[in-house]
Amino acid sequence: TVVVIDFGSQYTQLIVRRIREIGYYAELLSWDVSKEEVVELNPAAIIFSGGPASVFEEGAPYIQDYFFELNVPILGICYGLQSIIQKFGGKVEKSSKREFGRTFLEIIKKDPIFDGIPKKSEVWMSHSDRVEELPENFYVIAQSENSPYAVVRNVEGNIYGVQFHPEVTHSQYGRKLLSNFIEKVVGIEKNWRMEDFLEKKIREIRETVGENKVILGLSGGVDSSVLAILLNKAIGNNLIPIFVDTGLLRLNEKSEVVENFEDLGIDLVIVDAQEKFFEVLKGVEAPEEKRKIIGHTFIEIFNETAKKLLEKHGDIKFLAQGTLYPDVIESKVCGSKSAAKIKTHHNVGGLPEKLPFKVIEPFRNLFKDEVRQIGKILNIPEKIINRHPFPGPGLAVRIIGEVTKESVEKLRKADYIFIEELRKENLYDKVWQAFSVLLPIKTVGVMGDYRSYENVIALRAVNSEDGMTADWAKLPSEFLNQVAKRIINEVSGINRVVYDITSKPPATIEWE
């Protein structure tokens, strides 16, 4: 395992993803992790991440001594580099010239870590402290305009440090540097292939589950769909997927999910809970309250269904959940321990464990793009794998103010038109997520010869890598014009369409 130690940088998860993309298994641990936990992973190399602190601040995270006793190659990135330098007696200081964003790296000494990297290349920097003096036995191998010690190593060649962020795509040869570190410096065999992971998981699931049954909350989204199909492959009809119709789904969504799974030969238990959701949402306007009510109601309905199924088939022993690696590390690493709560997320996969079932989470160690890869290996149709993300609370968080049957109807129609046009113009796969939002305010318009006074639809389309940050999509104006025209003509009660041009941050992707 390549062990990545987290000092709280926003790019920490990217380091793990890059190492896995190169073909090596990597895991993320907090900087204060115990030696036993690290040793248990049989580490082949340690990478120290960047972080927001300054090494000389009181209470700043630091490198524990035992890491250097493990006798494996070490790479420090940004704060990781600075911590190594400080540890060995070098000097780190606040720099008068900060470096944020693109800059040039110049290699000044040939080194295995630079194999195949040109003398000058673009890298991404984000730091205000810098190394001012190297410890004994360290020397510099690359520099940048404001970092005389941009890449350093020790004489033995088993400790490296880089001031820039090789894990971000803006660093031109960053991936190459990481793969050189693993292949040339660490020198281990590739050990991470999704095909092998999949085979191993299927065997594990069969062993764990035996002849018992497994239930699963299916939303129709990528994670729960791939999970259902994987489980079906592993245990056939002993999987019982439950699909709850909350009444907050997109137009035709239920029938599409049912059809998709029928085509795959998988039967679903469908629960119609529309009335219940509209009832509990009556009069509720505050976004957080909506999210909480929907989350609780969903769990209540799922539990009721599970109990009924248990009465019918006594041998349901497991509940499968589509928990992903980012959810797992969220509770473990320092970067997110202090993070402010922005929204209460409700996830169809995230049910509490009050039920009398054992939980199995086959995707616990995977990132979302790895789940998509599994989907591809399993030959799951593109229309399932490439679907845009859809939030657990559904259309409710896209209707500002109270959610009623009428408002859902209106939003559904507008949203359908937007998505249909995106598909028609081959733009659906070019944006990461797109949807419509119904605003409760009314504005004046003129339709025919009459004054109109009706609601507004906002269109939202973004590009993103993981939903954590996002850029609004620069859709062609003729395209937006066409969508707006159709919405006004085809959805009664709407006389104005606006396009959301805020990125995340400062906005979030959903409006509530």
Residue 143 in tokens = 């520099």
Point out which span in 58-66, 155-163, 271-279, 345-353 binds ligand XMP (CB under 6 A). Answer: 345-353
Instruction: Calculate the alpha carbon distances from 286 to 275, 391, 396 in Å.
Output: 20, 17, 11
Burial 129-145 (b: 16+ CB within 10 A, else e): bbbeebbeebebbbbbe
Nearest distance from C-beta of residue 288 to ligand XMP, angstroms: 11
Residue 433 interacts with ligand XMP (CB under 6 A): yes or no: yes
Closer residue to ligand XMP, CB minimum distance, 13 or 347:
347
Closer residue to ligand XMP, CB minimum distance, 75 or 324:
324
Contact at 8 Å (CB) between 410 and 455?
yes
Nearest distance from C-beta of residue 345 to ligand XMP, angstroms: 4
76 is in an annotated binding site: no
Closer residue to ligand XMP, CB minimum distance, 143 or 219:
219
Nearest distance from C-beta of residue 441 to ligand XMP, angstroms: 21
Residue 345 interacts with ligand XMP (CB under 6 A): yes or no: yes
- Residues 6 or more apart whose CB falls under 8 angstroms from that of 309 comprise 215, 240, 242, 269, 316
Calculate the CA 153 to chain-centre distance: 33
Point out which span in 31-39, 257-265, 276-284, 388-396 binds ligand XMP (CB under 6 A). Answer: 388-396
Catalytic site residue 334?
A: no
Residue 415 interacts with ligand XMP (CB under 6 A): yes or no: no
Residue 154 interacts with ligand XMP (CB under 6 A): yes or no: no
Q: Residue 352 phi/psi, 5° resolution?
A: -75, 170
Please pick, from the candidates 163, 179, 260, 347, the single residue that binds ligand XMP as defined by CB under 6 A. Answer: 347
Residue 164 in tokens = 């820039």
225 is in an annotated binding site: yes
Instruction: Calculate the alpha carbon distances from 300 to 99, 181, 276, 356 in Å.
Output: 51, 50, 11, 14
Residue 292 interacts with ligand XMP (CB under 6 A): yes or no: no
Q: Which of residues 320-339 bind ligand XMP (CB under 6 A)?
A: none
Closer residue to ligand XMP, CB minimum distance, 246 or 347:
347
Catalytic residue (one of 167, 370, 421, 512): 167
Residue 343 interacts with ligand XMP (CB under 6 A): yes or no: yes
Peptide bond into 381 cis (omega under 30): no
Point out which span in 28-36, 387-395, 417-425, 490-498 binds ligand XMP (CB under 6 A). Answer: 387-395
Residue type, 227: L
Catalytic site residue 106?
A: no
Q: Which residue in 82, 64, 46, 49 sits closest to 158, CA to CA?
A: 46
Helical (H) or strand (E) element with 291 = helix 287-312
Residue 393 interacts with ligand XMP (CB under 6 A): yes or no: yes
- Residues 6 or more apart whose CB falls under 8 angstroms from that of 150 comprise 105, 123, 140, 142, 143, 144, 162, 163, 164
Helical (H) or strand (E) element with 371 = helix 368-377
Residues in the chain: 512
Residue 392 interacts with ligand XMP (CB under 6 A): yes or no: yes
Going by the DSSP 8-state scheme, the letter that residue 214 receives in this structure is E
Please pick, from the candidates 18, 165, 213, 346, the single residue that binds ligand XMP as defined by CB under 6 A. Answer: 346
Residue 510 interacts with ligand XMP (CB under 6 A): yes or no: yes
Contact at 8 Å (CB) between 80 and 161?
yes
Catalytic site residue 165?
A: yes
Closer residue to ligand XMP, CB minimum distance, 217 or 392:
392
359 is in an annotated binding site: no
CA–CA distance, 19 with 113 (Å, rounded to integer): 15
Contact at 8 Å (CB) between 298 and 392?
yes
Q: Residues in contact with ligand XMP, total (CB under 6 A)?
A: 14
Catalytic residue (one of 165, 253, 454, 510): 165
96 is in an annotated binding site: no
Q: Which of residues 441-480 bind ligand XMP (CB under 6 A)?
A: 467
Nearest distance from C-beta of residue 321 to ligand XMP, angstroms: 12
Q: Which residue in 315, 500, 334 sits closest to 418, CA to CA?
A: 500
Closer residue to ligand XMP, CB minimum distance, 105 or 461:
461
224 is in an annotated binding site: yes
Q: CA 41, 226, 294 angle in degrees (round to 5)? A: 100
Nearest distance from C-beta of residue 161 to ligand XMP, angstroms: 34
Point out which span in 192-200, 233-241, 278-286, 344-352 binds ligand XMP (CB under 6 A). Answer: 344-352
The footprint of ligand XMP (CB under 6 A) covers 343, 345-347, 389, 391-393, 433, 467, 504, 508-510
List binding-site positions for ATP.
219-225
Active-site residues, by number, are 78, 165, 167
List binding-site positions.
219-225
